[in-house]
Structure 1
Amino acid sequence: MDRISELPDELLVKILMSVPTKVAVSTSILSKRWEYLWMWLPKLEYLHRDHCSEPGCKRLQSFLDINLPLHRAPVIETFRLESCSSHFKPENISMWVSTAVSHCLRELDILHDDTEPAKSNILPSNLFTCKSLVILKLVGEILLDVPRVVSLPSLKTLKLQSVRYFDEETLLRLLSNCPILEDLVVDLRDYDYDYTGKLSIVVPSLQSLSLFIPYRREIDGFVIETPNLKYFKLMDHSISDHYCLIEKMPCLIEAYLEVNLPDMKSIIGSITSVKRLAICSEAIMMLGEGFVFNQLEHLEVCFCTLFSSDRVIELLLKASSNLKRLDFSFMDHHVPQGMVYWNQPTTVPECILSSLQSFSWSKYTGEPEERDIVVYILKNALHLKTATIKSSESSAVPKFEMLEELALSPRASATCQLMFD
C-alpha cells in the first residue's frame, strides 16, 4: 500500500475510478494520504443495493448532505443516484443534483423507486439550464415540471421512463430547448389514472426515438416530427382510442413497430424509406395494397401479424420488391397461437423471384399452415442462399419428421443451404 501511495494524485484517482464509489470512499480511512482523494472522483454512483435499508438510506443522506458540497472535482462526468424508498426527501435530492450541476455535470442518471406517487419536484431549476449536460436519464416516481426558462445546448441523450408530467406541454417545452438532441426514449407509465393528453415530439435533430405507450395509458394522441430520424421504435399497446400523426422520415434506416391502431396509414406512410423493419400488427391488412417499401432489405414479421389474415404475407412481400432477408419470429413476450389457413398467392411476389437471399423461421412446429409457407418460399426463391429453421420445443410433430420433410422439398435455388437448429 505504501508503494501505491507514492503514486501521483491523478493516477490514484484513476485507480479509484475503477471501483464502486462506496469502495472508493472507504479508502479515506487508510491514511491521511487517501483521506480526501475520493473527493476528486469525476464519477459518482450511489446505488440502492448498497443503501436499501432505512438506516442505510439515512447514512447515505447524511453523507451526501455533508460531503457532496465539498467535492473537489471541477467536472463531474457522471452522477448516478438510485433510491428505493421515500426515506430521501425531495429537497435533499434536489440539493444533491444542484450541487452536481454546479460541477459542469455531463451525465445525470436518477432512478427514484418510491411507493408513493411523485408530488414534489426533485429536479432543481438549474438542471434545465445546464450547458454541460450531455446525457439525462430519469426513471420512476419523478415529477417532470419544466420551468419556463430552459436551455440544454449540449444534451444529446434523453431517457424518460415512468416519470410523471406536470402537464401535456411539459415534454414539448423540454424538447424544444434541446437543439442537438439525438437519442430519445419516452416510456410512459402503465397506470390508467394517469392522463397525458397530447404527446408531441418535434425534434429536427433527433436520430433515434423509442416510444412506449402501455396498455392502460390514456392518451388523446401523439404527434411526431423527426425528419432526420434513423432509428424508430414504437410500441403502442394502449386500448384507448387515440390518433397518431407522424411526418415522413426520409432518413430512416431501422424501424420496430408493435402497434394495433385501427388507422395505420400515418405510421406506415412515414417509414416507407426504411431499410430494416420489424413489425407486429394485426391491423396491417386494413392498409390494403397502397403502400410500398422500395428500399426495404430486411423484414422481420412477428407471428401475431400472420395470425390476423391469410393474405398478410403476400401483402408485405408485394410491398417490398427489393427484399433480401425475411425472418418470421415471435417478438419479446408474445404468446404462440394457432395460425390461420394460408392461401398460396396466385402470383409470386417480385422479391422472392429477384432479390430474396436469406430466410428464417423461429419456433417452427411443422404444422401444415407453417409447412406450406416454408415450402412455398423454398420452391420459388430463385436466389435464396440460406434458409434457417429453428424448431419449437412444444411441437407435436417429431423434430426428425418435420426437418426431413423440408429437406426433401423442392428448391428453386441450387445454391440454397438449408440449416436446422
Structure 2
Amino acid sequence: MDRISGLPDDVVVKILSFVPTKVAVSTSILSKRWEFLWMWLPRLEFISRKPELRDFIDRKLPLHRAPVIERLRLDLYSPAIKPEDIRRWIEIAVSRHVRELKTNYYWENENIFPSSLFTCKSLVTLKLRRVTLVDIPSLVCLPSLKTLKLKSVKFVDEEMLQELLSICPVLEDLSVRCDDDENVKEFTINVPSLLSLSLVITDDWLLDGYEIDTPSLSYLKLEDWNDLDHNSLIKNMPKLREAYVDVRYPNLESVLESITSVKHLTICSEVVYGDGFVFKELEHLNLCMCREDSPNLLGKLLKDSPNLRILDISVVKDHATDELNGTVSWNQPNFVPECLLLSLQTLKWSGYYGRPQDRDIAVYILKNARHLKTATILADTEEHYVPNLQMIKELALSPRASSTCQLVFVEDLNSSV
C-alpha cells in the first residue's frame, strides 16, 4: 500500500478504476488523501439491495469530481429508493456529460427519467432493464447515441418504442427483448442508420405483429418464440451479411425473403420454407438440428445455397432436445446440390449422435462433396447413442467424392445435450 500511496493521484485513480466501485469507495478510510480519490473515478457502479445506499449516493454523487462520467450503472432493488431518486441521480450524470448509462430498476408505470436525459449530447450507450418508459418529451434528440439495449422494458403505448428510436439519428446497435406487455400489441422498428439488430420475442405475449425497416442493417438476430399467429413484416435488407434466425411460428418465409443477401446464416426453425429462395451470397451455414424437420430444412438450404463453403451442424446451446430421439428420416435431395459439386470445403458436426438420419446425412455429404477438404465430427458418446467405435467405422468406411478430404473424428466434450 505504501508503494501505491507514493504514486501520483491520476495513476492511483486509474488503478481504482479496475476494481468495483464499492471496493474503491472503501479506500476512503485509509487516509485523508485517499478520502476523495475515488470521486475522480470515470466509471461508477451502484449495485445493491440495501436501503442505506440511497443516502450514500445522495451525499456523494453531487460531489463527484470527474469532468466526464464514462459509465454509470444503477442496479437498485430497494423499495427505499424512489423514482424521484433515480431521476435526480441521472440528472447529475447528464450534467457530468455521461457517455454510458445502464439502469435496472423496477417501479411499474413510474417515470424515472428526467427530461434532460433525452437531450444529452454526450450519451453514446444506453442500457435499460425492467423499467417503464412513460413519456418522451417533444422536440428532443440524442445526437450521439449509437448503442441502445432494452430488456424487459415496458411502454405506456404502442408508439413509444418508435418514438424513442426516432430521436436517435445515428443509432447503430439496437437490442430489444420483448416480454409480455399488455400495452403493446404491435410495434415498429424503423431506423435508417441501424447496422446491428437483436430482437427477442418471448412465447407468452399476446402479440398481433411487428414491422422492421432497417435498410442499412448488416447483422440481424431474430428470436421469435411466440407460438401465437402474428404478422411480421420485414423490409428488404440489401446490406445484410450475417443473420441468426430462430423462429417457432410457421411464417418463416416472411423472414427469409429479406435475408437472401447474407454470407453467414445461423438458423433454427420448426418448419421448412417453400420454393423461390436462392441464397447466392451464402458461404457459411450454421444449422441447429434440435427440431423434428431439421434434416429436411438442411436439404432445402443445401439446394438453395449454390456457393456454400462452410457447413456447421450442431444444437444451439439451451435449445430443447426432446425431439433428438425421433425417427425422422433424411429425405435426400432429388439431385445433388450445386454447392456439393462446386464449393463446399468444410463440414463440422458438433454433437453427432449417430442416429440413422445423422449417419445418412453425413454419408451423403461425404459421398457427393467433391471439393471437401475437412470433415470434423464431434461425437456425443452418451450411452443411449451409438458407441464411438461404431460411429467411426460407419463414416470412415463410407465413400468420399473428394480424394483429399480429411476426416477428423473426436469426442465432443461440450455437447449441448
TM-score by length of 1: 0.92
Say which is worse superposed, 117-126 or 252-261, in terms of deviation.
117-126
Could you tell me how far apart the structure 2 residues matched to 1:83 and 1:144 are? 19
| Unaligned stretches of 5+ residues in structure 2 | 411-417
Query: Alpha-carbon deviation of 1:82?
Result: 1.0
Q: Classify 1:185/1:339 alpha carbon distance in 2 versus 1 (closer, same or farther; 3 Å).
A: farther
Q: Where does residue 64 of structure 1 map in the other structure?
A: 57
Q: 2:32 corresponds to which residue? A: 32
Alignment of 1:172-251 (within 5 A): 172-189=162-179, 191=180, 194-251=182-239
Aligned identity (percent) is 56
Indicate the larger mover: 141-150 or 157-166.
Answer: 141-150
Structure 1: which amino acid aligns with 2:164? L
Task: State the distance in 1 between where 2:299 and 2:397 align.
Answer: 25
Alignment of 1:74-153 (within 5 A): 74-112=67-105, 114=106, 118-153=108-143
The correspondence for 1:303, drawn from 269, 273, 289, is 289
1:51-84: CA deviation from partner (whole Å, max 9, x where unpaired): x3xxxx2221001111111212111101011123
- Which SS does the other structure have where 1:47 is aligned? strand
Contact 1:158/1:184 (8 A) holds in 2: yes
Give the equivalent residue in structure 1 for 2:409. Answer: 420
1:332 to partner: Cα distance: 2.4
* Amino acid aligned to 1:45: E
Q: CA deviation at 1:140?
A: 1.8
Specify whether residues 344 and 397 from structure 1 end up closer, same or farther in structure 2 by C-alpha distance, changes over 3 A only: same
Structure 1 unmatched runs, 5+: none
Paired letter, 1:70: L
SS in 2 for 1:67: helix
How far apart in 2 are the matches of 1:73 and 1:308? 57
Structure 2: distance between partners of 1:378 and 1:154: 52
Query: Alpha carbons of 1:353 and 1:95: their partners in 2 closer, same or farther (altered >3 Å)?
Result: same
C-alpha displacement of 1:6: 4.4
Q: Give, in whole Å, the separation in 2 of the partners of 1:63 and 1:314.
A: 61
Q: Secondary structure at the match of 2:408?
A: strand
2 CA distance for matches of 1:5 and 1:311? 67
Residue aligning to 1:402: 391
In 2: Cα distance, 1:6 partner to 1:365 partner:
61
Conserved 8 A contact 2:271-2:297? no
Aligned pair 1:381/2:369, yes or no?
yes
Offset at residue 87 of structure 1 (A): 3.0
1:40-59 correspondence runs (5 A): 40-48=40-48, 52=49, 57-59=50-52
Tell me the equivalent position of 2:415.
none
Q: Closer, same or farther in 2 for the Cα pair 1:332/1:150, shift >3 Å? A: farther
Residue in structure 2 matched with residue 284 of structure 1 by the alignment: 272
Q: How many residues align?
A: 406
Distance (Å, rounded) in 1 between the aligned partners of 2:2 and 2:246? 59
RMSD, matched Cα: 1.7
Whether the 8 Å CA contact 2:341–2:369 is kept in 1: the answer is: yes
The answer to whether the Cα contact below 8 Å between 1:195 and 1:217 also exists between their aligned partners in 2 is no
The code of the aligned residue for 2:64 comes to: H
1:319 aligns with 2:307: no
Q: CA deviation at 1:266?
A: 2.5
How far 1:236 moved relative to its partner?
0.4
- The aligned residue for residue 391 of structure 1 is 379
Letter in 2 for 1:296: L
Secondary structure at 1:366 match in 2: coil
Q: Following the alignment from structure 1 to structure 2, what is the Cα–Cα distance between the partners of residues 309 and 234?
A: 18
Pairing 1:330-369 to 2, within 5 Å after superposition: 330-336=315-321, 337=323, 338-369=326-357
Partners of 2:252 and 2:271 within 8 A in 1 = yes
Query: 2:414 aligns to what?
Result: none
Q: Does structure 2 conserve the Cα–Cα contact (< 8 Å) formed by 1:144 and 1:163?
A: no
The letter of the residue matching 2:184 is T
> 2:165 corresponds to which letter in structure 1?
L
AA paired with 2:330? W
> Which amino acid is 1:155 matched to?
L
AA in 2 matched with 1:300: N
Kindly indicate whether residue 280 of structure 2 is the aligned counterpart of residue 294 of structure 1: yes
Change over 3 Å in CA distance of 1:311–1:2 after alignment to 2: closer
